[in-house]
């Protein structure tokens, strides 16, 4: 069965917005699901806020076969799984996405609790290497593995590869172990050409984070969005580093993770050898300003993937979903003419 058939309001090719904590909220999830994609809400540590967001989704979209037609993404190292599944039990999102466990073993416990709370909800887990994909497939048996490549914006495995090699290797490794789990791809997918490539690699859907930062439904500061739209040449304008998680104090993220942000002053000063205490002090001052420290001449992290150079204009989420679907068909067609 095609993955989009198990999410009956969606159209193929399946376009999914990444559950970006605090950034992908109800407005974005509603717009994406209404346009035939899988809209998702990303949770940081604000579970009370999540309830309000989910009530808004229920009011605007209703339920499909008892499920809210969206996904909810939890960061498992921050959120208490028992509290999270209480919300899952009440609202029953069609997809529960889990990412960033302190240890790979933690995912099995999450999957079990989610399934008990809402047996019809699908469990999706995002991983960034072959070993993790195989372990998680075996222990947690998710419905979907989201294979996240190193080009991704935001957090991911510090040691990673791009999806062009990662996704097919994951597919082969899972087949070798006898697992039949749907895969979706994330990381640097910013237009239909990349989406078509991801489907060719074995993905049943594509996850977009950075591309949706251009949508007005996404909750980002205007200067952050402006920096995304202005950035070109993502291999130079963005960078992966642990520094971005150290700006507000000691890094809370599991040790295997770092994050990709647009380069800004804090990073340049770190590279120039400025001590972390001084960088933190300057950051603390900067975020008090009206611009909240955003901008390439600012000091606040601006998570974005290496596909940022392809994100050029502000665009409503529904338009992104529709343009992306068309772009994938067009790119597939063009590729065929080259054979
Ligand atoms: C601003 C931003 C915030 C993110 N926050 C989360 C998050 O809270 N939870 C999560 O599972 N993934 C998060 N991610 C990672 C995405 O799940 C996804 O892997 C990534 O956006 C895909 O790469 P792309 O940004 O190049 O499209 C975030 C990504 C971005 C860009």
Write the pLDDT tens digit of every residue in 114-132: 999 999 999 999 999 999 9
Residue 71 bridge partners (DSSP): 40, 95
Rounded Cα distance between 145 and 160, Å, is 16
How far away, in angstroms, is 18 Cα from ligand 1 center? 5
Half-sphere exposure of 310 (CA within 13 A, CB side): 19
How far away, in angstroms, is 337 Cα from ligand 1 center? 34
> Which residue's C-alpha comes closest to atom 13 of ligand 1?
20
Rounded Cα distance between 10 and 303, Å, is 27
Q: Which domains are seen in the chain, by residue range?
A: 3-218+311-337 (3.20.20.70), 222-307 (no CATH)
Which DSSP state fits 105?
Answer: T
Structure tokens at 99: 């990412």
Instruction: Decide if 283 contacts 292 (C-beta within 8 A).
Output: no
Instruction: Decide if 46 contacts 36 (C-beta within 8 A).
Output: no
pLDDT over threshold 90, residue 286:
yes
pLDDT over threshold 90, residue 259:
yes
The residue to mutate among 37, 155, 211, having the most atoms of ligand 1 within 8 angstroms of its beta carbon, is 155
For residue 54, give the nearest of 22, 90, 20 by alpha carbon: 90
How far away, in angstroms, is 152 Cα from ligand 1 center? 7
Q: With a 6 A CB cut-off, is 151 part of the ligand 1 pocket?
A: yes
Q: Is the bond preceding residue 252 a cis peptide, omega within 30 degrees?
A: no
State the virtual CA torsion across 236, 102, 40, 83 in degrees, nearest 10. -150
State the virtual CA torsion across 220, 23, 327, 184 in degrees, nearest 10. 150
pLDDT over threshold 90, residue 63:
yes
Structure tokens at 47: 């579970």
Tell me the average pLDDT across 302-329.
Answer: 98
pLDDT, the chain, mean: 97
Give the pLDDT score at 18.
Answer: 99
**Banded model confidence at residue 1, pLDDT cuts 50, 70, 90:** confident
Q: With a 6 A CB cut-off, is 257 part of the ligand 1 pocket?
A: no
The H helix count followed by the E strand count for the chain is 12, 11
């Amino acid at each position: 069965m095609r993955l989009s058939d198990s999410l009956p309001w969606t159209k193929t090719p399946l376009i999914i917005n990444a559950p970006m904590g605090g950034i992908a909220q109800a407005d974005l999830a509603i717009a994406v699901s209404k346009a035939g994609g899988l809209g998702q809400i990303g949770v940081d540590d604000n579970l009370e806020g999540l309830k309000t967001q989910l009530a808004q989704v229920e009011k605007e979209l209703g339920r499909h076969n008892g499920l809210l037609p969206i996904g909810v993404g939890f960061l498992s190292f921050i959120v208490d799984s028992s509290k999270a599944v209480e919300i899952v039990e009440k609202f029953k999102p069609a997809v529960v996405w889990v990412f960033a466990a302190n240890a790979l073993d933690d995912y099995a416990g999450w999957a079990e609790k989610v399934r008990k709370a809402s047996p019809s909800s699908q469990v999706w887990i995002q991983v960034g290497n072959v070993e993790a994909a195989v372990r998680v497939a075996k222990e947690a048996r998710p419905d979907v593995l989201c294979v996240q490549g190193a080009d991704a914006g935001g957090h991911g495995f510090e040691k990673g590869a791009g999806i062009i090699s990662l996704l097919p290797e994951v597919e082969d490794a899972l087949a070798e172990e006898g697992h039949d789990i749907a895969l979706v791809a994330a990381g640097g997918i910013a237009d239909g050409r990349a989406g078509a490539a991801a489907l060719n690699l074995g993905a049943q859907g594509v996850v977009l984070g950075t591309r949706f930062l251009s949508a007005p439904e996404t909750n980002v500061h205007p200067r952050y969005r402006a920096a995304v739209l202005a950035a070109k040449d993502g291999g130079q304008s963005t960078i992966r580093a642990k520094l971005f998680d150290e700006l507000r104090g000691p890094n809370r993220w599991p040790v295997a993770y770092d994050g990709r942000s647009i380069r800004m002053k804090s990073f340049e000063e770190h590279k120039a050898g400025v001590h972390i205490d001084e960088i933190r002090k300057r950051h603390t001052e900067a975020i008090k300003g009206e611009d909240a420290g955003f901008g390439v001449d600012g000091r606040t992290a601006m998570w974005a993937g290496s596909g940022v150079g392809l994100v050029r204009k502000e665009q409503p989420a529904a338009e992104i979903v529709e343009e992306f679907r068309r772009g994938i068909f067009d790119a597939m067609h063009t590729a065929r003419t080259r054979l």
